Each structure stands twice: as C-alpha cells, then as structure tokens.
C-alpha cells in the first residue's frame, strides 16, 4: 500500500446548529487505504515543470492544495465514497519521474475499483493519468480521450511538456497498433498554429471550436456527437484544462481565454462524458492560484470536480 504523501488536512465549516443533514466534503473524504473500494479517489499532481518547459506561467504546482481547499466546504449531496490518495510527484527531480509516480497512483485506484480524479498541476498531468489507465486496464482497446481545452496539446518538442501529452499518447498507441481516439472541445483558432491544426487533421482528431459551442444548438450538436462516440468506445478518459473556460470565469490559469466555452456548456459536456457509465479516469489541469482572483478559479474547478464525482463515481 503506497504512502499517502501529502500534508493536506481536510477542514472546513461545521453547521452544528442545523437540524438536517449538513455534511460537507471535509467531513466526507477519507484516506485511501488497502480496504478502499468503489467511489472516487482524489490524487494531487502538484507539478508545473511541464508548464515551465512550455514557456507558460508557472504556479499550477499549488493547484491541488487550492482545489482541495475549495472542495472542503462543498455540501455532500449525491457523492459516492470519496478517498484521498495524496499527492504524486512530491520531491520528484524530473517531470518524467512525477508522471511515473502519478501513473502508479492512478493504477492503484483503478485496481481497487475506484475512479481516479486527478487534481493538477499543469496539463502534463494527462500523460501520467493515461499511463496509469493503460497499466491497470491493458484490455481496453478503444479508449476515447475527451479533452475540454482551448489547445490541442499535440506539440512536437525536444522535451515533453504541458503541450505534448496527447502527441505522446498518439505515439504510444501507434507503437502498439492501437487506435488513437482523441476528441477536443473548445479549441481556439487564435491559440493553435496551422501546424497543430494540420497535425490534428492528419491524426484523425475530431475537434469543436470554442466559437461553435457558444449557442444552444451548437452545444446540443456537440453533445449528440459525443454520445455517439461514447457508444462506440470501450472506456472514456475525461481531461479538462481550465483554460477552456472564459478568462473572466477562470482567470487563474496559465493562458486565460478571451472567449472560451461558457460554464454551462462545459458542464453539459462533463455530464455526457462522466455520466455514460464508461468513465475510467478524469483530471482537471492548469489551476494556478498565483493568478486567481478571489479564489474564483479554484471554486470553478471544485464545482467541476464534484460534478465528475457525482456522475462518474461508483
């Protein structure tokens, strides 16, 4: 049984004078142990070395702590059991070692039938989560990777970084003769080069621009197409970069979005992916408390994490 490896203490408001059920997350979350089964396992990834390598704004290493703090005071409504598996990558001297540590924790959660929900950290978190899924569920042949993001993150670079995780997944899949089923919602035409659009097209990546997800009809069409993709796959991995949201809603990220996908649209897509019965893992990336305003981005991330837990937990 791996050591928890985090100093975070779940604390928050206690409504002692309420007559009804007033339980909050800080009273509901338990440490992950050898006996933990079902529900969800939270895993922190306090790492932003990939953001630094990608010339972004560092600070997301503090994201897991801020996200846990925001989760602590949320009311418990329809959540299953929630366990805290601690932080992966603490003390690691290289990004690759941190991603390896994360993969081990994701795999450990899956082996105990818990849904891993990873709290980042830069979007380099995705490569670690993916490796953990493949380690624990090698029989999955058609994994649908659903990314809510303003960026493709298919970059070619000398060193892996926050912009390369999905290219790494594609290369891993190609080397093993596996399909690469990657779908991105919220792509910005003004945040991706022509090379990235061409690469996405060459790899068969389906994507929806942020512009197409502003209207009710556009969002409905995207959700319907996502539902079709889900029916054809064996399992779903949901990954969310908070820069998919408008900068006014999520200012605490490396690259705030001028347009972004409205919060209601992001939640509708999460509901489709997390509530399908095939979700095997999820992560939330790029929470950067250093650039947050009034803790807004942390509260947004907590709301999304709770939504995933409520709909995807076992």
Count of positions (residues) in the chain = 314
* pLDDT at position 290: 96
Asked if the structure places residue 130 within a domain, the reply is yes
Encode the chain (314 residues) as per-residue pLDDT tens digits.
565 556 689 999 999 878 888 999 999 999 999 999 999 999 999 999 999 999 999 999 999 999 999 999 999 998 999 999 999 987 667 999 999 999 999 999 999 999 999 999 999 999 999 999 999 999 999 999 999 999 999 999 999 999 999 999 999 999 999 999 999 999 999 999 999 999 999 999 999 999 999 999 999 999 999 999 999 999 999 999 999 999 999 999 999 999 999 999 999 999 999 999 999 999 999 999 999 999 999 999 999 999 999 999 87
Q: What is the pLDDT of residue 54?
A: 95
Asked if 180 and 168 count as a contact pair (C-beta separation under 8 A), the reply is no
Domains contained in the chain, number: 1
Measure the CA angle with vertex 65, ends 21 and 83; round to 5°: 50
> Could you tell me if residue 6 is inside a domain?
no
Rounded CA separation 113/211 (Å): 38
How many angstroms separate the CA atoms of 135 and 86, rounded?
19
Contact 46, 8 (CB under 8 A): no
- Please report the pLDDT score of residue 4 as a whole number: 59
Is 15 part of any domain? no
Q: 262 lies in a domain?
A: yes
111: domain CATH number is: 3.40.800.10
Q: What was the pLDDT predicted at 92?
A: 66
- Asked if 258 and 210 count as a contact pair (C-beta separation under 8 A), the reply is no
Cα separation, 101 vs 80, in Å, equals 26
- Looking at residue 296, its pLDDT comes to 98
Beta-carbon contacts of 27 under 8 Å, excluding residues fewer than 6 positions away, are 10, 12, 14, 76
What's residue 211's pLDDT?
A: 98
Query: Is 20 among the domain residues?
Result: no
Q: What is the per-residue pLDDT for 93?
A: 72
Residues paired with residue 185 on neighbouring β-strands, in sequence order:
148, 208
Structural domain range at position 288: 25-312
Residue-wise DSSP of 102-122: HHHHHHHHHHTT-EEEEEESS
State residue 19's pLDDT score.
Answer: 80
**pLDDT (0 to 100) of residue 238:** 98
Opening angle at CA 156, ends 47 and 120, nearest 5: 20
Any domain includes 110: yes
On whether residue 296 sits in a domain, the answer given is yes
Domain assignment present for 166? yes
């Amino acid at each position: 049984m791996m050591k928890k490896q985090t100093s975070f203490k779940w604390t928050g408001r206690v409504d002692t004078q309420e007559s009804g059920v007033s339980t909050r997350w800080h009273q509901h979350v338990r440490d992950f142990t050898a006996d933990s089964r079902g529900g969800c396992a939270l895993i922190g990834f306090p790492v932003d070395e990939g953001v630094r390598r990608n010339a972004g704004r560092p600070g997301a290493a503090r994201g897991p702590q801020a996200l846990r703090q925001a989760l602590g005071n949320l009311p418990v409504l329809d959540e299953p059991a929630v366990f805290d598996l601690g932080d992966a990558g603490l003390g690691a001297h290289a990004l690759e070692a941190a991603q390896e540590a994360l993969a081990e924790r994701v795999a450990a959660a899956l082996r105990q039938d818990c849904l891993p929900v990873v709290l980042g950290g830069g979007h380099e978190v995705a490569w670690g989560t993916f490796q953990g899924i493949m380690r624990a569920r090698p029989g999955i042949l058609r994994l649908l990777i659903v990314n809510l993001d303003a960026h493709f993150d298919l970059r070619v670079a000398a060193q892996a970084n926050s912009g390369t995780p999905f290219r790494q997944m594609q290369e891993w899949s190609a080397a093993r003769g596996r399909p690469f089923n990657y779908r991105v919602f919220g792509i910005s035409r003004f945040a991706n080069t022509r090379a990235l659009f061409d690469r996405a097209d060459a790899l068969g990546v389906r994507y929806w621009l942020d512009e197409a997800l502003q209207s009710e009809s556009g969002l409905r069409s995207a959700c319907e197409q996502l539902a079709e993709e889900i029916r054809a796959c064996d399992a779903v991995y949901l990954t969310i970069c908070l820069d998919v949201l408008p900068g006014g809603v999520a200012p605490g990220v490396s690259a705030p979005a001028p347009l972004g996908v409205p919060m209601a649209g992001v939640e509708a897509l999460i509901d489709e992916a997390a509530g399908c019965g095939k979700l095997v893992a999820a992560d939330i990336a790029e929470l950067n408390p250093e650039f947050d305003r009034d803790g807004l981005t942390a509260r947004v991330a907590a709301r999304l994490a709770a939504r995933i837990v409520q709909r995807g937990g076992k």
